[in-house]
């Protein structure tokens, strides 16, 4: 397979392919930054493709949020759903005909097959394999179906998925631009489903088809996808196409080296915007993740990074995303990179401006006697972390019960696609009903968790202004506060809360 050197004659085209589910993640910004720096370094283009084939989880709100979050950071794409380009459409759900045609081609070529196995059978199979300590994998039963019968059953309306045929032995060897040669045994690779029973392609199929048709030359993405490369390479081969070059970046880590997760660090890009971080400091910090500039500079811009960017300078040892270090760097930007005038401008556009006051004042007005009453009431909207006593938080509730309710709200809030006063109000009403509590017994806990006080602006308006990322972070911080005073949820406790939660509220989505 061609490496970077041999592909330099063609135009470099990179892409980011986020799925529009949930809040935009710092990991997406990290991938976008490195894809952009690489594309710019080689006078190429970066494409933004929205991978929305998971119909149950994708939302237009989340797609817009991704565009807004990346724009806030100053990350620009050359082609995408908002600005178009020569290889559109850039939303995967608008490319279904293309995916379907390639699935049909694979079926006709005999490189893929319909599988009619029921979810119950697959479940049973998986359990048996796990009991035998084998890697769960489809056993190929439907592979033996004669093509005519398979076609007939599909025409009769029987539900089916389409799977790829995978070699039963041997190994797949490929080059990763950061890791060198990678070898994966075909026995480790499942007969991947490429078309789901709802007719939609899976990620693997759609991703390969779109990367090809969008002429992507370099796939630069997270290391969690490295084990998928054999399937992708096989698809390229079966479809008769040249594969792009692959580079799998290390995943961001928490300071304890576990995979970056919101349990330890805020992971939503908007948390950083709303908590008052500067986009250029964020970009600088993300650029330092596993990367050093040739002159070892610590403070640098996207332009500086792009000028000298070289994938070979990426180190693979799990870069740690450390909030304290980011705060320190952000402080340097405020003091060293911006003039006082500029800091004032940033404050005004962040939250101290007229637009913000116009949104807050109507909520505060009836609680004001003097102007000086305003700022204490609005303080929770401007602050990052809040100080309050645990007893204020729990109020009349038992601390264990308070922790349980906070946890449930955290999961419920994760599910809200629309973040506004009315949605939040119905969410908490539903929760009160399910918990058989009165709203006024349930809400004081959240009032303190969100506003840090027992007296403030109305809760749902306040949360709506505060935004999802900061609000969710406050709930997590309240849980941490309880844990710090010995009232945390044990592993066992958490398991049973989760079980009850699923029964009463349905599945979690995070």
- The answer to the question of residue 20 lying near ligand GLU (CB under 6 A) is no
Helices 439-451, 468-484: axis angle to 10 degrees equals 100
CB crowding 131-156: b at 16 or more within 10 Å, else e: eeeeeeebeeebeebeeeebeebeee
Contact 509, 57 (CB under 8 A): yes
The residue among 25 and 472 lying less far from ligand GLU, judged by its C-beta, is: 25
**DSSP string covering 197-234:** TTSPBPHHHHHHHHHHHTT--EEEEEGGGGGGHHHHHH
CB of 137 to ligand GLU, least distance (A): 22
Total residues belonging to the chain: 510
Stretch that binds ligand GLU, among 14-22, 75-83, 130-138, 290-298 (CB under 6 A): 14-22
- The answer to the question of residue 225 lying near ligand GLU (CB under 6 A) is yes
- The answer to the question of residue 19 lying near ligand GLU (CB under 6 A) is yes
- The number of C-alpha atoms within 13 Å of 115 and in the hemisphere containing its C-beta is 23
- The answer to the question of residue 24 lying near ligand GLU (CB under 6 A) is no
- For residue 101, give every residue at least 6 positions away whose Cβ sits within 8 Å of its Cβ, in sequence order, or none: none
Q: How many residues bind ligand GLU (CB under 6 A)?
A: 8
CB of 203 to ligand GLU, least distance (A): 6
CB of 222 to ligand GLU, least distance (A): 7
* Active site residue ranges: 262
Q: Are strands 45-48 and 13-16 parallel, antiparallel or unpaired?
A: parallel
Record the tokens describing residue 340, joined without a space: 């006082």
Stretch that binds ligand GLU, among 17-25, 126-134, 345-353, 501-509 (CB under 6 A): 17-25
The residue among 210 and 280 lying less far from ligand GLU, judged by its C-beta, is: 210
Stretch that binds ligand GLU, among 11-19, 100-108, 140-148, 446-454 (CB under 6 A): 11-19
CB of 225 to ligand GLU, least distance (A): 5
Rounded distance between C-alpha atoms, residue 225 and residue 374, angstroms: 50
The residue among 207 and 464 lying less far from ligand GLU, judged by its C-beta, is: 207
Residue nearest to ligand GLU (CB): 221
Considering only 26, 33, 36, 51, the residue that binds ligand GLU (CB under 6 A) is 51
Long-range contacts of 143-146 (CB under 8 A, 24+ apart): 143/113, 143/191, 145/113, 145/114, 145/116
The residue among 108 and 224 lying less far from ligand GLU, judged by its C-beta, is: 224
Rounded distance between C-alpha atoms, residue 457 and residue 232, angstroms: 53
Stretch that binds ligand GLU, among 16-24, 147-155, 160-168, 400-408 (CB under 6 A): 16-24
Rounded distance between C-alpha atoms, residue 471 and residue 414, angstroms: 11
The residue among 13 and 221 lying less far from ligand GLU, judged by its C-beta, is: 221
The residue among 39 and 107 lying less far from ligand GLU, judged by its C-beta, is: 39
- For residue 377, give every residue at least 6 positions away whose Cβ sits within 8 Å of its Cβ, in sequence order, or none: 364, 367, 368, 455, 456, 457
Instruction: Return the number of other C-beta atoms located less than 10 Å from residue 39's C-beta.
Output: 25
The residue among 207 and 284 lying less far from ligand GLU, judged by its C-beta, is: 207
CB of 219 to ligand GLU, least distance (A): 6
- The answer to the question of residue 221 lying near ligand GLU (CB under 6 A) is yes
CB of 338 to ligand GLU, least distance (A): 34
Rounded distance between C-alpha atoms, residue 312 and residue 301, angstroms: 19
- The answer to the question of residue 18 lying near ligand GLU (CB under 6 A) is yes
Position of tokens 């594309």? 39
- For residue 148, give every residue at least 6 positions away whose Cβ sits within 8 Å of its Cβ, in sequence order, or none: none
Position of tokens 């892409």? 15
Rounded distance between C-alpha atoms, residue 402 and residue 394, angstroms: 6
Rounded distance between C-alpha atoms, residue 141 and residue 161, angstroms: 13
Considering only 12, 13, 17, 245, the residue that binds ligand GLU (CB under 6 A) is 17
Contact 187, 169 (CB under 8 A): yes
The residue among 177 and 412 lying less far from ligand GLU, judged by its C-beta, is: 177
Helix (H, G, I), strand (E, B) or coil at 16: strand
CB of 221 to ligand GLU, least distance (A): 3
Rounded distance between C-alpha atoms, residue 214 and residue 77, angstroms: 14
Stretch that binds ligand GLU, among 13-21, 406-414, 430-438, 454-462 (CB under 6 A): 13-21
The residue among 17 and 283 lying less far from ligand GLU, judged by its C-beta, is: 17
Stretch that binds ligand GLU, among 15-23, 102-110, 186-194, 252-260 (CB under 6 A): 15-23
CB of 179 to ligand GLU, least distance (A): 16
Helix (H, G, I), strand (E, B) or coil at 185: strand
CB of 49 to ligand GLU, least distance (A): 8
- The answer to the question of residue 80 lying near ligand GLU (CB under 6 A) is no
Within 261-290, the residues that bind ligand GLU by CB under 6 A are: none
The residue among 19 and 473 lying less far from ligand GLU, judged by its C-beta, is: 19
Within 176-215, the residues that bind ligand GLU by CB under 6 A are: 203, 207
- Interface with ligand GLU (CB under 6 A): 17-19, 51, 203, 207, 221, 225
């Amino acid at each position: 397979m061609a490496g970077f050197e041999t592909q330099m004659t063609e135009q470099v085209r990179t892409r980011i392919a986020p799925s529009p589910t949930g809040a935009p993640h710092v990991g997406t910004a990290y991938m976008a930054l490195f894809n952009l720096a690489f594309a710019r370094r080689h006078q190429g283009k970066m494409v933004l493709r929205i991978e929305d084939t998971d119909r149950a989880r994708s939302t237009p709100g989340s797609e817009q949020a991704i565009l807004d979050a990346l724009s806030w950071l100053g990350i620009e794409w050359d082609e995408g759903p908002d600005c178009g380009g020569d290889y559109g459409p850039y939303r995967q759900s608008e490319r279904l005909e293309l995916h379907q045609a390639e699935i049909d081609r694979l079926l006709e070529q005999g490189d893929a097959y319909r599988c009619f196995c029921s979810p119950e059978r697959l479940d049973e199979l998986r359990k048996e394999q796990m009991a035998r300590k084998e890697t769960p994998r489809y056993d190929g039963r439907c592979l033996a179906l004669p093509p005519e019968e398979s076609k007939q059953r599909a025409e009769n309306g029987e539900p089916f998925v389409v799977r790829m045929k995978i070699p039963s032995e041997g190994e797949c060897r490929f080059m990763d631009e950061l890791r060198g040669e990678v070898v994966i045994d075909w026995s480790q690779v499942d007969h991947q489903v490429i078309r789901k029973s709802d007719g939609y392609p899976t990620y693997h199929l759609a991703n390969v088809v779109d990367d090809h048709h969008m002429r992507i030359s370099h796939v630069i993405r997270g290391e969690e996808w490295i084990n998928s490369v054999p399937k992708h390479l096989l698809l390229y081969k079966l479809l008769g196409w040249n594969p792009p070059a692959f580079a799998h970046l290390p995943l961001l880590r928490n300071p304890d080296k576990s995979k970056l997760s919101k349990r330890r660090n805020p992971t939503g890009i908007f948390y950083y915007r709303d908590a008052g971080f500067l986009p250029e400091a964020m970009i600088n910090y993300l650029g330092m993740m596993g990367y050093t500039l040739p002159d070892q500079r610590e403070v640098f811009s996207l332009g500086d990074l792009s000028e000298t960017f070289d994938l070979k300078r990426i180190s693979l040892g799990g870069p740690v995303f450390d909030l304290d270090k980011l705060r320190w760097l952000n402080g340097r930007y405020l003091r060293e990179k911006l003039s006082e005038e500029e800091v004032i401008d940033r404050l005004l556009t962040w939250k101290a401006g007229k637009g913000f006051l116009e949104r807050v004042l109507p909520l505060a007005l009836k609680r004001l006697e003097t102007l000086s009453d305003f700022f204490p009431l609005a303080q929770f909207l401007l602050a990052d972390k809040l100080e309050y006593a645990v007893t204020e938080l729990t109020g009349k509730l038992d601390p264990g019960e308070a922790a349980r309710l906070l946890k449930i709200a955290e999961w419920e809030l994760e599910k809200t696609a629309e973040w506004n006063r009315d949605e939040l109000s119905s969410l908490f009403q539903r929760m009160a009903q399910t918990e058989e509590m009165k709203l006024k017994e349930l809400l004081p806990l959240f009032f303190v968790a969100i506003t840090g006080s027992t007296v403030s602006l109305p809760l749902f308006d306040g949360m709506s202004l505060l935004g999802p990322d900061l609000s969710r972070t406050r709930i997590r911080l309240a849980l941490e506060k309880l844990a710090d005073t010995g009232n945390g949820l044990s592993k066992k406790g958490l398991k049973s809360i989760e079980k009850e939660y699923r029964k009463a509220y349905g599945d979690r989505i995070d």
